[in-house]
Structure 1
Amino acid sequence: MRALILVLLLGVIPSNLLAQTGIKGRVSSGENALVEAKITMAQTTLGTLTDEAGFYKFEALEPGSYNLVVEYVGYKTVKKKLEVVAGKLTTWDFDLPLDSDLNEIVVSATLKPVLKSESVVPVEIYTPKFLQKNPTSSLFDAVRLINGVQPQLNCNVCNTGDIHINGMEGPYTMILIDGMPIVSSLSSVYGLSGIPNSLIERIEVVKGPASSLYGTEAMGGIINVITKNAKSAPLLSLDGFTTSWLETNLDAAMKFKLGEKTHSLLGVNYFKYGERKDLNKDGYTDVTLQDRISLFNKWNFDRSDERSASMAIRYLYEDRWGGENHWNRERDRGGDQVYGESIFTNRFEAIGMYQLPTTPNIYTQFSYNWHQQNSFYGIESYQAKQQVIFGQAYWDTAWKNHSLLLGASYKYTYYDDNTRGTGIYDEEGLVENDPMKRPNLGLFVQDEWSLNKQHKLLLGYRLDYDRVHKEIHSPRIGYKYMPSSHHILRASFGTGFRVVNVFTEDHRALTGAREVVFAEALDPEKSYNGNLNYTWKVPASFGVISFDATAFYSYFTNKIDADTDTDQTKIIYDNLDGHAISQGLSLNVDVVFDFPLKLMMGATYMDVYRKEEGEKNPLYHAPKWSGNLLATYDFGSGFSTDLTGNWTGSMRLPRVEDDYRPEYSPWVVLANIQITKKFNERFELYGGVKNLFNTLPKEDVIARWWDPYGEPGNGIEPPAGRTDVIFEPNDYSYTPLQGIQGFLGLRYTVF
């Protein structure tokens, strides 16, 4: 490992080269840099993408005339003929105008194509360039570098997890693909795996409730993964890497045409990890062994009058297991001698959008997902199926200085498993199977009112009808004040709601090890929230500094909790007799220097707790302090380096009875370094080190790991001085079990 680090660090010191013959410049729209804008040279195979500051460069060109074509989704294409002089880097900047007729762009906050600076609701945008700063094999791991967003591991054996926004648990975060709620609750981390990075156009993050547009599951925020347009995507993209732990990941995408008016983009993701590692010597695999493949195909159709039409499908298969190191699938799956958790996942998704051929701008969207899970958690079998059908139509129109949106949606969820969650049991066993069938109808309206160039008002309202909870109302109001292009103040207030499906959201309920009991008919969770956001761009003598500060507050009623203490054989679900609060402050600072250095820093303070009968208790896995750091430096001659990291303060952790482990975690810092060498516009090589400080848990992540079945299951004597706790493999997680590791990969792109 030390040799690998030395080689990588030595590689960042290139020799000084003479000035190159070529073209360089910046692509922007006004003062906004356009990241990953596509620049090609007509009648050649040369092409490149702008970096995170909007800059591009072509070197080692032959002197002569070149026709540059600059493209960026949502902006009008610009073409320019330039002369290249021998021994000189010709500078030419491009300012792209917004294409107001292009309706394919979905800005997650309002369902409308709009510049980030024009949105009333603050939206954070992350491009593949951001994801490439710390290469990962899944979206779940990639969002770790986003300030205020926390991927949380919920099981230390099977490595299931969810994504927290501003301290709120995973079920409060809605995951969208191309604006569609494709990642259902059953999929959990499994649905977040296998989305090829080579297909991602950008990721939009909205922190705070968005129920007025998206309905249930959007109380904490949304993460919208927007895939590339098949028409403008590169002809071929390859990205593969492996690590010193022998984790191997491959992303590949290729576009082609089917006739004159159909463009197709085909993507494949494959991930393999098959090593039984046990660095903490507890007898269990530190990381689940996985074999995963995902296939993605998207079609974009050319229509008259630039009307939108697209469709995409994805299939995911995954085989993962974790447990005692000597676990054997053929011998031990479902057995009571060697503990293991084994999950087979089959998943199919379909997404589509079609703009009606009418004079009014009417859009229809649909999605469907089918998820089958065949799993064993020790001796407990969990066999589940879920299907979710979603469709919506909305009318987008303008009247004077009002931008109006009126729509309706329908969502149908079918869920069945082999536990008490969907069955009626007596002493002899199952009496009647009763799958969950839940329809939900929603109506929504939105008015974006431009009072003048400085003031904009957003009014929204949604009415949902649920068969159990009847009518649910979700109003919201937003306001944007923009005195100049360097200052923007945004404020939003509203309500959110969530209809809870406990069987797909609580890992303890999934195993069926306890009887599921409802103390009463559960009411939907509700929230009342307010956000205040301020962005400020400061031109300086050395570059540009951007500040983005947010204060957030959410008050929750009817919060549903799982009581596992009253009766050790039961999980009792009940509405909280009190309230819960999520409040805090966050700050993001971006610094782009005149020399080739860019810094991104963030910090978040949170106070997330529930209060019942006068007693205040912090929520689990909600650290008061957290933050991130990204630094990128371009050395020239194709060499660049990225230093990334995130830190998490002390947070409360779930424990079992008589637990010997601390109730609060220590502070944790995870840091990574990467070196990239770009040989030409097509090929680049990258490598680095993850978890530079070798940060690992200080305590047992699995309670009573030496005795999963009541007898020494792995031949290890109980450690001295530890109380007789019960076996519990879940929840006690605050940092990954992987220590320091190296990685090496390559990317190849043909435009």
Structure 2
Amino acid sequence: MQIRLKPVAALLLPLFAGSLHAEARLDTIVVTASRFESAQQENPIAAQIITADEIRNSSATNVSEVLNKLGGVHSRINFVGTPDSPLDLRGFGMTGEQNTLVLVDGQRISENELATARLSAIPLDSIERIEILRGAGAVLYGSGASGGTINIITRTAINAPLSGNVSTRVGSHDLRDIRGGFRAGGEMWGLRLNTQRFRTDNYRDNNRSELDTASGELRFGNRNGFVALGFNVDDQKSRLPGARTEALLHSDRRGATTPDDYLNSKSQRFSLRGEKRLGELTLALDIGRRDKRADMYNNSAWGSTLARTDVGVTTVSPRLLWQTGFDQVVNSLTVGADWSHWSYDNDTAATGFMSALDESGKQKNRAFYLRNDVHLTATGTRISIGGRKENVRQTQHERLVPRDAAEKHALSAYELALQQELGAGFSAYGRLGRSFRVANIDENRCWSAPCPTLLKPQRSHDREIGARWQGGKASLGVSLFEMDIDDEIHYNHLSFSNINLSPTRHRGLELEGRLLIGDSLDIAARYTRTQARFRQGIYGGVDVSGNDVPLVPKDRVSLTLGWQVFAATRIGLNLSYTGRQRYDNDQANRFRQMPAYTVADIKIAHDLGDWRLALGVNNLFDRKFYSYGIVNGTYTSFNAYPEDRRNAYVSAEYRF
């Protein structure tokens, strides 16, 4: 891999001290990347951990902002207007969220459609920590983890004293955000409840967003095992303003192109989880059920559509962990199975030249996996090896085309990782792996005959090397990755369809770290250099070999500064830079690139007894920018979704 480190990275290098391996601050953390909670385990190789204290002290107000500001995860604007930003680990562009797997307590919430994970339904106060594993997770979790996995771990209330919080936040664009949380527990039980009511008009006309959520968990048990019943329900209502043309970005930036459009949805998720330790063995079982109903209206000069969709998914995941040790060897063997059944129904009525749709689909997954981790304590060597076999059956029925399609796929994933302690706080690691992704129902949709066969699964062959250094008040991490992908699933404007691409390659450099200066100042920084290119391919008569994949910024820098001004007063500043990238649909690389942008957010918080008062300003320097743009068919102009200008809020939180 030949990747050039730009001068900006060299300037930041002395500051880098990665939060991903801050062992001094994470001694009590139990990482669950092996899908177990009760058994004490080591941090997975090259994992990034974001703690609850880091979240509380940051300028982030929702999970999407936490991942972007603290986790360095690239995100773009959500067209719906809710704080559910599409996520992209390691440069997949528009399909980033389909290649980045999001989990809550080890259960996936990523959609099997072209829709973002409902991160806004996860209350910040319920989060114990967030684990980010870049380029890993396919062995344990299967499809959609090519870019990596993000596991959001919620708090347990066992042994928690009666406590809670109530907060309110008001701000620009008629923002009103009310949240509440409650925890209580005893020696063998715990109860946690959270709720939120969110309203905002957003920056654009016809972009009002409303969100009501409630979640909770009732748990019985102790460190030797537990049973937990959890739930999460949400009700979302959003108006959709549409894109702005290049001309309108200058003349009417806040206007709405589609003043009648909307998207309303309701979802509910229930889970039953349990673990039991029996000496060296730990047994676990997860059962989950999620249902979602959505209504979407679109009106244009060509006609209108009203789409109603119903989605349901049931998952069952039994597994076993065997932990044993002899002499100076510690061994952990994980064996498990995943079963899931996903169903989908879409009824779309249409007028004018728009297309109606009467569609249903199902997907059944059956998987078996194992992973073994060995730690040679005498030499400081860790070896992790694992594999997964998964059978997927997809069916898709469309009555109006008509179409009946069915495919079976036999898929596999593996991972081999080695980490070696080198002394003086240094360590190095290497990782090889293979992952896969199955096309979702939106990508397989057919609007007119003749319909093609369902898309082939995407397969990725991954390589990564890295090094870490941990000092007393500073740490540094560097990694290089390369992914060769066959049959990458992608919407290609040159062929006007979702297709399996000819081979592509994703490669990059990642630097991250943290520096503590005295007792009052901490600096965290991250630099990512990403290159995503078509290795070969001719589409619509255009040879794209060597071209950039759209919507993948080559350079990204984030800098987070925390200053404890006084014992009760803290200032948090986040500065992020996103470099130039190709517009969506510009696989031919004929159009100019999207402009780079830099955004600064600041938050001042003051504790007053049981109260915390805060003032926040986003886009402090009032930059005009957009994170998503799409080129038109003639390569003479583009449409974009403008981001918010300078905006502010005040908040008050009471804890008891």
Alignment-mate amino acid for residue 697 of structure 1 = F
Native 8 Å contact 2:547 2:587 kept in 1: no
The answer to whether the aligner puts 1:631 opposite 2:550 as a matched pair is no
Q: In the TM superposition, what is the alpha-carbon distance from 1:107 to its structure 2 partner?
A: 2.1
Q: CA deviation at 1:187?
A: 8.0
Aligned to 1:440: 365
1:231 aligns with 2:125: no
Aligned partners of 2:144, 2:283: CA distance in 1, in Å? 25
- What secondary structure, in the 3-state scheme, does the structure 2 residue paired with 1:219 have? coil
Q: Does 1:649 align with 2:579?
A: yes
The alpha-carbon deviation at position 494 of structure 1 amounts to 0.8
Residue pair 2:523, 2:560 contacting (<8 A) in 1 also: yes
Q: Which residue of 2 aligns with 1:538?
A: 471
Contact 2:212 2:236 in 1 (8 A): yes
SS of equivalent to 2:115? helix
Q: Which residue of 2 aligns with 1:719?
A: none
Question: What's the counterpart of residue 607 of structure 2?
Answer: 678
How far 1:377 sits from its partner (Å)?
2.3
Which TM-score applies when normalising by structure 1?
A: 0.72
The aligned residue for residue 67 of structure 2 is: 143
* Match among 455, 474, 482 for residue 381 of structure 2: 455
Match of 1:308 in 2: 226
Per-residue CA distance 1:295-320 (angstroms, 9 max, x = gap)? 001111126x7312212101100111
Quickly say closer, same or farther: Cα 1:262–1:658, change in 2 above 3 A: closer
Partners in 1 of 2:420 and 2:579 — Cα distance? 34
Quick one: distance in 2 between partners of 1:314 and 1:239?
20
Shift of 1:354: 1.1
1:289 counterpart (204, 208, 217): 208
> Which residue of 1 is the match for residue 644 of structure 2?
738
Following the alignment from structure 2 to structure 1, what is the Cα–Cα distance between the partners of residues 114 and 482?
29
**Whole-Å separation in 2 of the counterparts to 1:291 and 1:477:** 45
Alpha carbons 1:137, 1:193 under 8 Å: kept: no
2:87 is matched with which residue: 158, 163, 187? 163
Q: 1:182 aligns with which of 109, 114, 130?
A: 109
8 Å contact kept, 1:519–1:574: no
Residue 588 of structure 1, CA deviation: 0.8
Q: Judge conservation of contact 2:578–2:598 (CA < 8 Å) in 1.
A: yes
Matched, 1:590 2:590: no
5+ residue gaps in structure 2?
1-20, 244-256, 394-406, 538-542
Q: Does the 8 Å CA contact 2:84/2:118 hold for their aligned counterparts?
A: no
Amino acid at match of 1:633: W
Q: Say if 1:158 and 1:322, in contact at 8 Å, map to a contact too.
A: no
Map of 1:102-501 to 2, 5 A cutoff? 105-108=30-33, 111=36, 118-146=42-70, 148-153=72-77, 155=79, 161-168=85-92, 169-186=96-113, 188-189=115-116, 191-232=118-159, 235-256=163-184, 261-274=188-201, 277-278=203-204, 284-285=205-206, 288-302=207-221, 306-323=224-241, 339-356=259-276, 360-378=281-299, 379-400=304-325, 401-418=330-347, 435-453=360-378, 454-467=380-393, 468-484=407-423, 486-501=425-440
Residue identity opposite 1:675 in structure 2: I
Unaligned runs of at least 5 residues, structure 1: 1-29, 36-73, 76-97, 99-104, 279-283, 326-336, 421-426, 705-721
Q: How much is the aligned-residue C-alpha RMSD, in angstroms?
A: 3.6
Q: Percent identity?
A: 17
Which of 23, 27, 33 is matched with 1:32 structurally? 23
- Deviation string 1:410-462 (CA, Å, 9 cap, x unpaired) is 01111111259xxxxxx99989x552111110001111112333111111011
1:594 to 1:406, Cα distance in 2 relative to 1, 3 A: same
Match of 1:667 among 579, 596, 603: 596
Secondary structure at the aligned position of 2:76 is classed as: strand
In the alignment, what sits opposite 1:575? 500
Q: CA deviation at 1:483?
A: 2.8
Shift of 1:599: 0.4
Deviates more, 1:129-138 or 1:399-408: 129-138
8 Å CA contact 1:269–1:293 kept in 2: the answer is: yes
SS in 1 for 2:150: strand
* Superposition pairs of residues 611-626 of structure 1, within 5 angstroms: 611-613=535-537, 615-626=545-556
For 1:339 and 1:747, the matched residues in 2 are separated by 36
* Residue 141 (structure 1) shift: 3.2
Q: For the structure 1 residues 429 and 563, does the alpha-carbon distance in structure 2 shift closer, same or farther, using more than 3 Å as the test? A: closer
Number of matched residues? 589
* Structure 1 residue 561 displacement after superposition: 2.5
Per-residue Cα deviation, 1:203-223 (whole angstroms, up to 9, x for no partner): 111111321110011111111
Rounded to whole Å, the distance in 1 between the matches of 2:143 and 2:468 is: 29
CA distance in 2, matches of 1:684, 1:519: 58
Shift of the 193–231 alpha-carbon distance from structure 1 to 2, 3 Å rule, reads: same
* CA apart distance, 1:268: 0.2
Q: Do the aligned partners of 1:162 and 1:171 also contact (CA within 8 Å) in 2?
A: no
Separation in 2 of the partners of 1:202 and 1:700?
29
Distance in structure 1 (CA, Å) of the matches to 2:585 and 2:563? 43
